[in-house]
C-alpha cells in the first residue's frame, strides 16, 4: 500500500496530542507558550507522555502506547490487512483508554468507590481533558474509521468513514450525552432514598401536574400551563397563518411583498422584543393603560402579566412561522384538482370545503405542531411577561438560578419538557409529515390558481389585516421605547439609552468602548462568527452523508440529528451545565461551551437546507466525478460544494443570526467573562431598565439585517443560468 | 488520440448483487472481448444497469470477481479502475464550462491545468465540438451535451467505456444518428464498450454482442443475428422484435429437420437439436403468408382486423391455436374482415424453441 498523506497526518495528530500538547484543560487559558507540553513544569501544563512519566499519571500510558502501535501502520509496502489491523488496534486502544480514564478518574481520584476499593486510592485526581486530549481523541477516532474503510466498510471510502466517525462522535458527545445526563440527574438521589421514589416525587409533584385552578383560584401545575399555552398558541397562529397564506397566494391583495417581509421578522428579532412591545403598550405604564387612566379613570391593572400576555406575545412571535409553512402548502396544491372539482359542478364554496381545505389538512397539522414545539421551547416571552404564571422552560430556569438551586428538580422538569417536545415532534415527523398531499411530480402543472370563495376571502381579510397592522405597531412601539426618557412618565425624546449602551470615549490610549453593552456585543459577535462556519460545515457534511452515502448506522445518525432538532433550548442549557461542569469535559464557564451550544443547536438547520438542496442535485454528478478519478473529497469540494451555494448561504446566515438572538440555552451557560447580548438585555428587562434593553435590541435587529445582506453578497450568486442541472432539454432541431 | 489504444477485456466471474433479500443480479459469468461493443439489453428492472454499475465500481459486488485486462479490480473504487461512464442524464457539471468538464478527469489525475485543457480541446474536436469549450452545459442542445459527456469519458483513455442508456433523452431522429456516431467512434478507436439499453433496435444497430437479461440473469448472449434468428427461448424471441408465440408438437425428426404439427398444418423446420414432443413455435409477423382458403397443409384462419399501413398491411388472424399478427406486403387492397383464409409459414422467421 502507498502511504497516504491523510494517514500520516492522522498519526501525526495523535503523536502531537499525546507527546506535545498539554493534555489537560488549562484553567487560565491557552497561550502559545504553553502549547508545548513535552517538558511541563507542572502537571497542568504537561503532555500525556510527560504526565505519565514524571507526574505519576500511569493511566495515561495506554494512549502513549497506542500512538507507538500506530506508527508501523504507516510503513510503505504493508498489506491492506496488516495496515487495517495495526491502525484499528491503535485507534481502539487509544480511544477506549482516553474515554475510560476520563470517565473513571475525576478531580478527586477514582470516580467510583468500588474502583478505589479494588485498586487502592490514586495519588492524585485529574482535570478535564484539554487540547492534547481532544487532539488525541480525534486522531484515534480517525484511525478506527480508517481501519474500517480499509476493511471495506463505508464502501471502502476513508473520507466517508472519517466524516461519519466525526459526526457520530460529535452528536454522541454534545447531544446524546447531555440528554442522558438529564435522565440520570432526574433519577439522582441523596443518601437513604430510592431512585424511584425521588423521581416519582419530582416528576409527579403537585406544582407540575396540579389541577387546582379548575376548582379554586390557586395556580395549576406548570406542565398543564405549558400545554395549555402551547395548544392555544398553536391554534391561533395556525388560523392566522392560514389567513395570511390564502391572502398571499390566492387573492389579488396588492401588498403581498409586505406580507412576505413579515416572515423575516422572527429571524432577526431577539425572542423577547415582542414581549417588551406588549409591556410598553399594555403594561402598567403602557400607553393603553395610561390613556385609560387619563381619559376614563379606569385602572386596567396587570392583566398583561400572565397567561394572556405570554399567549399574545407568542401569537405575535410565531404567526410568521406558521405563515411560512402554510405558504408552501397553499402553493403546493395543484390547481388542476380545483379545476376538476369545478368542472364537476362544485360551487366555489364546495370546492374550497371539499377539495382545497382537506388537501391542506396535513399542512395545517404540520404548522400546528411546529408552532406547538416552538411555544414549548419559548423562554424569552414567558420570562418577560409570565409574572407568577410559570411554564416549564421558566421553572427549569428558576430551579437552577433561584434560591433553591435544585438540579434534580430542573432535570425532572427538563425531562417532562423534552417528552412533550419529542412526542409532538414524532407525531409531526412520522404521522403528519409523511401524509402530505402536496405532489411535486416535476411535470408542469397547467391551470391557474383558483381564487377563494368570497366569504373565505372576507374572513381572511378581517382576521389577518388588523393583525398585520397590530404586529407592525407592536414592533414600532417596541423600538420607539428606546428613544424616550422613561416610558409612561417622561416622554422626552432622547438618545441617552443608546449612549449608555454604546458610548465611545477617546481616552489616553485611544478609543475606549465605555458603553455598557459593548463587551457583550463583541463577545456575541465573536462567538457567533466562530460558530457559524463550523455549524454550516458540519450540517452540510451530515446532509451529504445522509443523502448520498449508504452505511451501517445511518438511521441512528438520523435519529441523533432529529433529537437535536427538537430538544428545547432550556433543556439543552441545563443538560450542558450538568454534563460539562466536571471532568472529563470541564468547559462550563468558557467560551467553548457557548460555541458548542450554538453549533449543536443550529446544526439541524444546516442539515435541513443541505438535504433539500442536495436532493435536487442529480446523484449521477457524484458518480461521474468518481468515475473521472476524483477522490471523494475532491468531488465534494469541486462539484458538490459549488452547487450547494444557496444551502451554504442559508446555513451560514441562520446559524450566525440564531446564535446572536438565542436566549433560552445560553442563559444557563454565560459567565461573567462571556456574557451574551440577549442575556444582557433580559437582565436589564428583569431590572425594569426597558430603555437600555430596547436600544440594544434595536441595534441587534439592524445588525442582523445587515449581516444577512452581507453574507448574501459574500457567498455570491450561483454561476448558473438554469436551475436544474444536467437534465437536458429535448434536442432542438436546427 | 486516433492510435489504437490499450483496450482491455472484461471478465465477470460469478458476480451477483443483493440488496438485503432482493436479488438485483443473480450470479453470472460474462466475458467481454477487448475492442468489442457489448450491449446489455432487457426490460426495466432486469438488472442490466446494476451490472453496468458494478463494472464501473459504483456498486460493490455481493459475490464474485471482476477482472479488467486480467487485473482483479473487484475491491477497487470507481476511480481506481480505469473505466469511464457516460450517464443517462449525462451528469455534466453545470457550474463548469465544457472545457472544464472534459478536463476534470485529467486534473483529478494530477495533469497540469494548461495541458489538461489543451487535451480537452483535442478530444472535443474528435466528437465534433471544436470551439465549444467556453460554453456551459445549459447552453448546449441535448445531442451536444451527450457528446460532451462522451468526450469527458474518452479523454481519460479508459480500458473500458460504459454507456448507461445514453440516448434515451434524445428524440428518435437524433437517436439514430448519435448511435451511428458512437459505433463509428468505437470502431475507429478500437474501444471496449459496454452499453446498456432497453431499445432492441438500438442494440441490433450498434452491437458486436448482445446480452439479453431477464429477471436478474442472462437470458441469452450472442451476435445480433444469432439472437434474432436463433433465440434460446420465447422471452428472447419476443424481446428481439415482434413475434407470435404458439404451441405445437414435433412429430418426427429426420436429421436436422423436424416435422411439426400445428393444428391442421404441417411444417418442416430446422430441428435445433430438439426431440419429438410438445414445442414452442415463434413466428415473426413477416413470416406469415396468407393463402386462399383450404390450401392443403395450411392453417385455417379468419381475418379479424385488417389495417392499411402504406407499404404493408397488418392483419390479426383468428386461428384454432391463437390469434396471430401478420405483416404482409401491400399488393391489391386489403382482404375483407371475416373472410376465411389459409396460412402458411416461411422457414426464415419461424423458429422452434424448447418449451
Among B74, B59, B81, CA closest to B14: B74
- For chain A, how many helices (H) and strands (E)? 34, 6
pLDDT at A121 over 90: no
User: Which of B204, B235, B266 delimits the end of a domain?
Assistant: B235
Query: What residues of chain A have any CB closer than 8 angstroms to a CB in chain B?
Result: 152, 155-157, 618, 620-621, 623-631, 634, 638-639, 642-643, 718-722, 725-734
Contact call for residues B159 and B82 (beta carbons, < 8 A): yes
- Residue whose grid cell is 480508517: A146
pLDDT value for A194: 61
B57–A627 CB contact, under 8 Å = yes
Contact call for residues A325 and A234 (beta carbons, < 8 A): no
Q: Are B25 and B82 found together in one domain? A: yes
pLDDT at A718 over 50: no
pLDDT value for A126: 82
pLDDT band at A733 (very low <50, low <70, confident <90, very high): very low
Q: Mean pLDDT check: name the lowest of A4-18, A193-207, A317-331.
A: A193-207
As a whole number, mean pLDDT of residues A703-727 equals 59
pLDDT value for A195: 62
| A532-575 confidence digits (pLDDT tens) | 999 999 999 999 998 888 887 788 888 788 777 788 888 999 89
Please indicate, yes or no, if residue B5 is contained in any of the structural domains: no
Please indicate, yes or no, if residue B55 is contained in any of the structural domains: yes
What is the rounded average pLDDT for all residues in chain A? 82
Q: Are B78 and B186 found together in one domain? A: yes
Q: Which of A41-45, A182-186, A677-681, B38-42 has the highest mean pLDDT?
A: B38-42
A726–B75 CB contact, under 8 Å = no
Q: Mean pLDDT check: name the lowest of A185-199, A288-302, A713-727.
A: A713-727
Please indicate, yes or no, if residue B166 is contained in any of the structural domains: yes
As a whole number, mean pLDDT of residues A58-76 equals 89
- Own/partner pairs for A474-478, CB < 8 Å, 24+ apart? A474/A274, A474/A277, A474/A278, A474/A281, A474/A316, A475/A265, A475/A269, A475/A273, A475/A274, A475/A277, A477/A277, A477/A280, A477/A281, A477/A287, A478/A273, A478/A274, A478/A276, A478/A277, A478/A280, A478/A694, A478/A697
pLDDT at A98 over 80: yes
pLDDT value for B3: 39
Q: Are B292 and B173 found together in one domain? A: no
pLDDT band at A444 (very low <50, low <70, confident <90, very high): very low
Q: Measured between alpha carbons, how far is B340 from B333 in angstroms, rounded to an integer? A: 16
Question: For residue B88, which residues of chain A lie inside 8 Å, CB to CB?
Answer: 620
End-to-end CA distance of chain B, in Å?
Answer: 50
Parallel, antiparallel or unpaired: strands B265-270 and A105-106: unpaired
B163 to chain A, any CB pair closer than 8 A? The answer is no
Q: Are B58 and B174 found together in one domain? A: yes
Which among B19, B92, B93, B147 is the top mutation candidate for probing chain A, defined by the most A β-carbons within 10 Å of its own β-carbon? B93
User: Which of B235, B251, B274 delimits the end of a domain?
Assistant: B235
Q: Measured between alpha carbons, how far is A477 from A694 in angstroms, rounded to an integer? A: 10
pLDDT at A730 over 50: no
- The alpha carbon of residue A709 is apart from the nearest alpha carbon of chain B, in Å, by 24
| A382-416 confidence digits (pLDDT tens) | 988 888 888 999 988 888 887 777 888 888 888 89
A731–B170 CB contact, under 8 Å = yes
Helices (H), chain B: 48-56, 98-108, 113-126, 142-154, 172-189, 200-206, 224-229, 234-239
Which among B120, B136, B138, B170 is the top mutation candidate for probing chain A, defined by the most A β-carbons within 10 Å of its own β-carbon? B138
- Residue whose grid cell is 489525475: B109
Q: Are B335 and B210 found together in one domain? A: no
pLDDT at A722 over 70: no
Question: Which of A620, A630, A726 comes nearest B137 by C-beta?
Answer: A726
User: Which of B235, B269, B304 delimits the end of a domain?
Assistant: B235
Q: Measured between alpha carbons, how far is B248 from B264 in angstroms, rounded to an integer? A: 11
Q: Helix, strand, or coil here: B195?
A: strand
Which whole-number Å values give the CA distances from A547 to A166, A615, A619, B31, in the listed order?
A: 17, 7, 9, 35
User: Residues, chain A, total?
Assistant: 734
Query: Which of the 8 DSSP states describes residue A278?
Result: H
Q: Measured between alpha carbons, how far is A375 from B322 in angstroms, rounded to an integer? A: 71
pLDDT value for A721: 34
What cell was used for A288?
393603553
Q: Measured between alpha carbons, how far is A304 from A286 in angstroms, rounded to an integer? A: 10
pLDDT band at A79 (very low <50, low <70, confident <90, very high): confident
Please indicate, yes or no, if residue B156 is contained in any of the structural domains: yes
CATH number of the domain at B117, please: 3.40.50.300
Question: For residue B162, which residues of chain A lie inside 8 Å, CB to CB?
Answer: 627
Question: Which of B56, B89, B94 comes nearest A627 by C-beta?
Answer: B56
A624–B93 CB contact, under 8 Å = yes
Q: Mean pLDDT check: name the lowest of A79-88, A184-193, A394-403, A614-623.
A: A184-193
pLDDT band at A726 (very low <50, low <70, confident <90, very high): very low
- The alpha carbon of residue A551 is apart from the nearest alpha carbon of chain B, in Å, by 13
The answer to whether the peptide bond before residue A50 is cis (omega within 30 degrees of 0) is no
3-state helix/strand/coil string of A110-149? ECCHHHHHHHCCCCCCCCCECHHHHHHHHHHHHHHHHHHH
Q: Measured between alpha carbons, how far is B19 from B25 in angstroms, rounded to an integer? A: 10
Q: Are B56 and B197 found together in one domain? A: yes
Q: Are B112 and B157 found together in one domain? A: yes
Please indicate, yes or no, if residue B53 is contained in any of the structural domains: yes
Portion of chain A with pLDDT greater than 90, in percent = 19
What cell was used for A329?
402548502
Q: Measured between alpha carbons, how far is A363 from A245 in angstroms, rounded to an integer? A: 12
Question: Which of A156, A621, A628 comes nearest B108 by C-beta?
Answer: A628
- Residue whose grid cell is 368542472: A343
Q: Are B88 and B196 found together in one domain? A: yes
Which residues have a Cβ under 8 Å from the Cβ of A216 and sit 6 or more positions away?
Answer: none
Q: Helix, strand, or coil here: A377?
A: helix
pLDDT value for A189: 54
Sign of CA dihedral A172, A175, A179, A185: positive
Sign of CA dihedral B214, B216, B220, B223: positive
Across chain B, which has 355 residues, the per-10-residue mean pLDDT values are 64 93 93 95 91 91 93 86 89 90 90 93 92 92 91 91 90 88 91 93 93 93 92 90 91 90 89 90 93 87 91 92 90 84 91 89
The CATH class of A224-335+368-422+444-476 is mainly alpha
As its CATH architecture, domain A518-715 has Orthogonal Bundle (1.10)
Q: Mean pLDDT check: name the lowest of A12-16, A460-464, A665-669, B4-8.
A: B4-8
Residue, of A263 and A191, whose pLDDT is higher: A263
- Own/partner pairs for B215-223, CB < 8 Å, 24+ apart? B215/B46, B215/B47, B216/B23, B216/B24, B216/B25, B216/B26, B216/B46, B216/B47, B217/B25, B217/B26, B217/B28, B217/B47, B218/B28, B218/B30, B219/B42, B221/B30
pLDDT at A724 over 60: no
ipTM reported for the complex, 2 dp: 0.80
Q: Which residue range is the domain that position B257 belongs to? A: 242-353
As a whole number, mean pLDDT of residues A497-505 equals 84
Among B161, B170, B166, B149, CA closest to B203: B166
Among B207, B193, B195, CA closest to B166: B195
Q: How many CB pairs under 8 A join A and B?
A: 121
Q: Are B230 and B280 found together in one domain? A: no
Contact call for residues B148 and B140 (beta carbons, < 8 A): yes
Residue, of B149 and A614, whose pLDDT is higher: B149
Q: Helix, strand, or coil here: B347?
A: coil
What cell was used for A28?
487560565
Among A364, A395, A70, CA closest to A239: A364
pLDDT at A441 over 50: no
B49 to chain A, any CB pair closer than 8 A? The answer is no
Q: Are B151 and B181 found together in one domain? A: yes
Q: Residue A277, Cα to own-chain centre: how many angstroms?
A: 25
Please indicate, yes or no, if residue B103 is contained in any of the structural domains: yes
Which among B49, B68, B79 is the top mutation candidate for probing chain A, defined by the most A β-carbons within 10 Å of its own β-carbon? B79
pLDDT value for A356: 83
pLDDT value for A723: 35
What Rg value do the Cα atoms of chain B yield, rounded? 25
Q: Are B301 and B213 found together in one domain? A: no
pLDDT band at A332 (very low <50, low <70, confident <90, very high): confident
pLDDT value for A433: 56
Q: Measured between alpha carbons, how far is A535 from B47 in angstroms, rounded to an integer? A: 41
Report how many domains make up chain B. 2
Which whole-number Å values give the CA distances from A241 to A315, A398, A436, A466, in the listed order?
A: 10, 33, 18, 13
- Residue whose grid cell is 440555552: A665
User: Residues, chain B, total?
Assistant: 355
CATH number of the domain at B314, please: 2.40.50.140
| A337-387 confidence digits (pLDDT tens) | 777 777 788 888 888 888 888 888 888 888 898 899 889 989 989 988 888
Q: Are B182 and B249 found together in one domain? A: no
Q: Measured between alpha carbons, how far is A475 from A415 in angstroms, rounded to an integer? A: 34
B108–A721 CB contact, under 8 Å = no
Which whole-number Å values give the CA distances from B258 to A242, B234, B297, in the listed order?
A: 78, 18, 15
Sign of CA dihedral A261, A262, A266, A271: positive
Angle at A94 between CA A90 and CA A100, to 5 degrees: 145
Q: Which of A448-462, A476-490, A683-697 has the highest mean pLDDT?
A: A683-697
Amino acid at each position: 500500500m502507498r502511504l497516504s498523506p491523510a494517514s500520516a497526518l492522522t498519526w501525526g495528530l495523535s503523536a502531537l496530542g499525546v507527546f506535545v500538547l498539554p493534555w489537560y484543560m488549562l484553567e487560565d487559558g491557552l497561550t502559545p507558550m504553553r502549547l508545548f507540553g513535552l517538558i511541563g513544569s507542572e502537571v497542568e501544563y504537561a503532555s500525556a507522555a510527560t504526565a505519565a512519566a514524571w507526574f505519576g499519571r500511569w493511566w495515561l500510558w495506554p494512549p502513549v502506547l497506542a500512538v507507538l502501535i500506530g506508527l508501523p501502520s504507516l510503513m510503505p509496502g504493508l498489506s491492506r490487512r496488516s495496515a487495517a489491523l495495526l491502525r484499528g488496534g491503535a485507534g481502539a486502544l487509544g480511544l477506549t483508554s482516553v474515554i475510560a480514564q476520563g470517565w473513571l478518574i475525576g478531580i478527586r481520584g477514582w470516580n467510583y468507590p468500588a474502583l478505589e476499593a479494588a485498586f487502592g486510592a490514586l495519588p492524585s485526581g485529574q482535570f478535564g481533558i484539554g487540547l492534547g486530549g481532544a487532539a488525541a481523541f480525534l486522531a484515534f477516532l480517525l484511525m478506527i474509521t480508517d481501519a474500517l474503510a480499509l476493511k471495506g466498510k463505508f464502501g471502502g471510502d476513508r473520507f466517508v468513514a472519517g466524516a461519519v466517525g466525526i459526526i457520530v462522535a460529535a452528536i454522541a458527545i454534545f447531544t446524546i450525552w447531555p440528554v442522558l445526563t438529564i435522565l440520570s440527574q432526574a433519577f439522582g438521589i441523596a443518601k437513604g432514598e430510592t431512585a424511584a421514589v425521588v423521581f416519582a416525587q419530582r416528576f409527579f409533584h403537585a406544582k407540575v401536574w396540579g389541577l387546582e385552578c379548575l376548582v379554586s383560584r390557586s395556580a395549576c401545575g406548570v406542565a398543564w400551563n405549558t400545554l395549555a399555552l402551547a395548544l392555544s398558541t398553536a391554534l391561533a397562529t395556525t388560523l392566522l397563518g392560514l389567513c395570511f397564506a390564502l391572502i398571499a397566494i390566492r387573492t389579488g391583495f396588492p401588498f403581498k411583498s409586505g406580507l412576505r417581509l413579515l416572515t423575516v421578522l422572527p429571524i432577526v428579532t431577539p425572542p423577547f422584543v415582542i414581549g417588551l412591545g406588549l409591556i410598553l403598550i399594555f403594561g402598567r405604564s403602557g400607553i393603553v393603560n395610561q390613556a385609560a387612566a387619563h381619559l376614563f379613570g379606569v385602572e386596567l391593572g396587570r392583566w398583561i402579566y400572565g397567561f394572556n400576555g405570554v399567549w399574545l406575545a407568542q401569537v405575535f412571535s410565531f404567526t410568521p412561522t406558521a405563515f411560512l409553512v402554510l405558504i408552501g402548502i397553499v402553493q403546493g396544491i395543484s390547481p388542476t384538482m380545483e379545476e376538476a372539482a369545478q368542472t364537476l359542478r362544485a360551487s366555489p364554496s364546495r370546492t374550497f370545503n371539499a377539495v382545497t381545505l382537506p388537501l391542506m389538512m396535513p399542512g395545517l397539522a404540520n404548522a400546528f405542531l411546529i408552532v406547538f414545539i416552538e411555544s414549548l421551547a419559548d423562554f424569552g416571552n414567558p420570562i418577560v411577561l409570565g409574572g407568577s404564571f410559570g411554564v416549564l422552560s421558566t421553572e427549569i430556569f428558576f430551579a437552577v438560578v433561584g434560591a433553591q438551586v435544585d438540579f434534580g428538580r430542573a432535570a425532572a422538569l427538563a425531562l417532562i419538557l423534552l417528552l412533550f417536545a419529542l412526542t409532538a415532534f414524532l407525531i409531526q415527523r412520522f404521522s403528519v409529515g409523511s401524509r402530505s398531499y402536496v405532489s411535486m411530480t416535476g411535470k408542469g402543472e397547467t391551470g391557474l390558481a383558483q381564487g377563494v370563495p368570497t366569504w373565505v376571502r372576507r374572513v381572511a381579510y378581517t382576521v389577518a389585516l388588523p393583525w398585520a397592522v397590530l404586529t407592525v405597531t407592536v414592533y414600532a412601539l417596541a423600538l420607539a421605547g428606546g428613544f424616550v426618557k422613561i416610558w409612561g412618565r417622561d416622554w422626552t425624546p432622547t438618545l441617552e439609552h443608546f449612549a449608555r449602551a454604546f458610548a465611545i470615549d477617546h481616552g489616553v490610549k485611544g478609543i475606549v468602548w465605555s458603553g455598557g453593552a459593548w463587551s457583550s456585543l463583541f463577545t456575541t459577535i465573536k462567538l457567533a462568527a466562530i460558530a457559524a462556519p463550523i455549524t454550516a460545515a458540519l450540517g452540510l457534511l451530515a446532509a451529504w452523508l445522509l443523502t448520498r452515502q449508504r452505511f451501517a448506522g445511518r438511521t441512528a445518525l438520523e435519529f441523533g440529528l432529529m433529537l437535536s432538532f427538537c430538544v428545547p433550548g432550556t433543556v439543552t442549557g441545563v443538560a450542558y451545565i450538568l454534563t460539562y461542569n466536571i471532568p472529563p469535559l470541564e468547559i462550563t464557564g468558557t467560551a467553548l461551551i457557548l460555541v458548542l451550544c450554538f453549533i449543536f443547536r443550529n446544526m439541524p438547520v444546516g442539515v435541513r437546507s443541505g438535504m433539500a438542496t442536495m436532493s435536487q442535485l442529480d446523484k449521477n454528478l457524484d458518480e461521474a466525478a468518481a468515475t473521472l478519478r476524483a477522490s471523494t473529497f475532491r468531488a465534494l469540494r469541486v462539484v458538490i460544494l459549488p452547487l450547494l451555494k444557496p444551502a451554504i448561504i442559508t446555513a451560514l446566515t441562520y446559524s450566525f443570526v440564531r446564535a446572536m438572538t438565542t436566549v433560552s440555552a445560553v442563559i444557563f451557560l454565560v459567565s461573567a467573562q462571556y456574557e451574551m447580548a440577549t442575556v444582557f438585555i433580559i437582565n436589564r428587562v428583569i431590572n425594569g431598565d426597558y430603555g437600555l434593553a430596547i436600544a440594544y435590541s434595536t441595534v441587534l435587529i439592524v445588525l442582523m439585517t445587515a449581516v444577512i445582506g452581507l453574507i448574501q453578497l459574500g457567498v455570491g450568486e450561483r454561476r448558473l443560468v438554469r436551475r436544474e442541472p444536467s437534465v437536458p432539454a429535448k434536442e432542438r432541431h436546427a | 488520440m486516433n492510435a489504437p489504444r490499450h483496450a482491455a477485456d472484461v471478465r465477470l466471474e460469478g458476480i451477483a448483487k443483493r440488496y438485503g433479500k432482493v436479488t438485483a443480479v443473480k450470479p453470472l459469468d460474462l466475458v467481454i472481448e477487448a475492442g468489442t461493443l457489448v450491449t446489455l439489453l432487457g426490460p426495466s428492472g432486469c438488472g442490466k444497469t446494476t451490472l453496468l454499475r458494478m463494472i464501473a465500481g459504483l456498486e460493490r459486488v455481493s459475490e464474485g470477481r471482476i477482472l479488467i485486462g486480467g487485473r482483479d479490480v473487484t475491491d477497487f473504487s470507481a476511480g481506481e479502475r480505469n473505466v469511464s461512464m457516460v450517464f443517462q442524464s449525462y451528469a455534466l457539471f453545470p457550474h463548469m464550462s465544457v472545457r472544464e468538464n472534459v478536463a476534470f478527469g485529467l486534473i483529478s489525475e494530477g495533469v497540469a491545468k494548461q495541458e489538461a485543457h489543451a487535451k480537452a480541446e483535442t478530444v472535443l474536436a474528435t466528437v465534433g465540438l471544436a470551439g465549444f469549450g467556453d460554453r456551459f452545459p445549459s447552453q448546449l442542445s441535448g445531442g451536444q451535451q451527450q457528446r460532451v459527456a462522451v468526450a469527458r469519458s474518452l479523454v481519460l483513455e479508459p480500458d473500458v467505456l460504459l454507456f448507461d442508456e445514453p440516448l434515451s433523452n434524445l428524440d428518435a431522429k437524433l437517436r439514430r444518428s448519435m448511435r451511428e456516431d458512437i459505433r463509428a467512434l468505437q470502431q475507429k478507436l478500437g474501444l471496449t464498450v459496454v452499453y446498456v439499453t432497453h431499445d432492441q433496435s438500438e442494440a441490433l444497430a450498434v452491437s458486436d454482442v448482445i446480452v439479453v437479461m431477464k429477471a436478474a440473469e442472462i437470458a441469452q448472449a450472442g451476435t445480433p443475428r444469432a439472437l434474432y434468428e436463433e433465440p434460446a427461448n420465447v422471452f428472447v424471441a419476443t424481446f428481439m422484435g415482434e413475434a407470435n408465440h404458439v404451441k405445437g408438437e414435433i412429430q418426427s425428426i429426420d436429421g436436422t429437420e423436424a416435422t411439426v404439427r400445428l393444428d391442421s398444418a404441417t411444417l418442416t423446420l430446422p430441428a435445433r437439436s430438439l426431440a419429438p414432443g410438445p414445442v414452442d413455435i415463434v413466428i415473426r409477423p413477416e413470416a406469415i403468408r396468407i393463402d386462399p382458403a383450404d390450401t392443403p397443409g395450411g392453417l385455417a384462419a379468419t381475418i379479424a382486423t385488417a389495417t392499411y399501413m402504406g407499404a404493408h398491411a397488418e392483419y390479426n388472424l383468428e386461428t384454432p391455436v391463437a390469434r396471430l399478427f401478420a405483416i404482409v406486403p401491400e399488393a391489391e387492397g386489403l382482404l375483407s374482415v371475416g373472410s376465411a383464409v389459409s396460412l402458411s409459414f416461411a422457414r426464415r422467421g419461424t423458429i422452434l424453441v424448447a418449451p
